[in-house]
Amino acid sequence: MLKIGKLELKNNMILAPMAGVTDLPFRLLCKAQGAGFAYTEMISAKGVHYKSKNSFELAQTVPEEQPAGVQLFGSEPAIMAEAAKIFAGSGYPLIDINMGCPMRKITGNGEGSALMRDPDLIEKIVDAVVNAVDVPVTVKLRRGFDSGHETAVECALAAERGGASAVTVHGRFREEYYSGHSDWSCVARVKAAVKIPVILSGDVADRDSANAAMLASGADGLMIGRASMGNPWIFRILSGSGGAPDNSERFSVIKEHLDLLREFKGSQTAASEFRKHAIWYLKGLRGSASVRDRICKTEDPAAIAAIINEYFEWLDSPEQQ
């Protein structure tokens, strides 16, 4: 079990916030498969300030997924505090601040990982958010902004001084994006420096890498991102509560994902957004290339469901065994 402030999680395996991936349907699936906690996609605090419809849609939730966290990005303490107060008041029991996003459209505005160049501003932002809400506030960092200039410890200490209840550290510099290998020893240095829980992010994809990451870092928890795409079962595998799915369960969860998208986003959006998930779900399965191609050319969710059903019937047919 992992405790963040006054919030107790059922385990220390956490679904990372990922733009275009961790919407409500995917979060529900991952929590059902054993994720101890999940975050929304990152949401612009300025978008919330200006009442952007999209910003509030990204925070869509239902009681069944709680507890879960909202991740905000921005660089202005007052606006960050305003947005955090709105979401804490709407039922989210934790606010996370993104200080690790490497994308140019974010860092170009001085947000995301660009904040790691200014620990004093990090402390001011965290302090403003902490004083605006009565729920735990966490921060997600990288190893540093400029390659070769590691500032994770300095920035984690700034977040702690501001009142953060936990920090997540991704062991790559901003310029590395997701290439190369995450440096878990960086997480160990942060763990040794702060008194709050430290969560490791980066290159955890199976039981072996999870065990190695925990051993190398001493982290209190693991945040799983890309390894969960098309693989929500990873959480039960890592927590030891279950194994890999058979074809029947894989089909059932894929269909449930499509149904959830239709329920929460409507048929047209469901079809377009499900395509990338279908590619991830079916990757590596025998004879799936043509199926993925058919799905990507289909606009009707019912037709997509029929294609998937036909494929799994073929996959389980006696001649394929």
Q: Catalytic amino acids?
A: 101
* CB-based contact 80:147 (threshold 8 Å): no
Contacts of 290 (CB under 8 A, 6+ apart): none
Pairing of strands 166-173, 95-99: unpaired
| Residue of 92, 82, 156 whose CA lies nearest to 119 | 156
Distances (CA, A) of 317 to 290, 291, 292, 312, 320: 18, 16, 19, 8, 6
Can you read off the two tokens belonging to residue 300? 């009707």
C-alpha 85: how far from chain center: 21
Q: How far apart are alpha carbons 265 and 57 in whole angstroms?
A: 10
Pairing of strands 198-201, 221-224: parallel
Q: How far apart are alpha carbons 64 and 72 in whole angstroms?
A: 22
Placement of tokens 């001085």 in the chain:
110
In DSSP terms, which residues pair with 39 in a beta bridge?
A: 69
* CB-based contact 22:16 (threshold 8 Å): yes
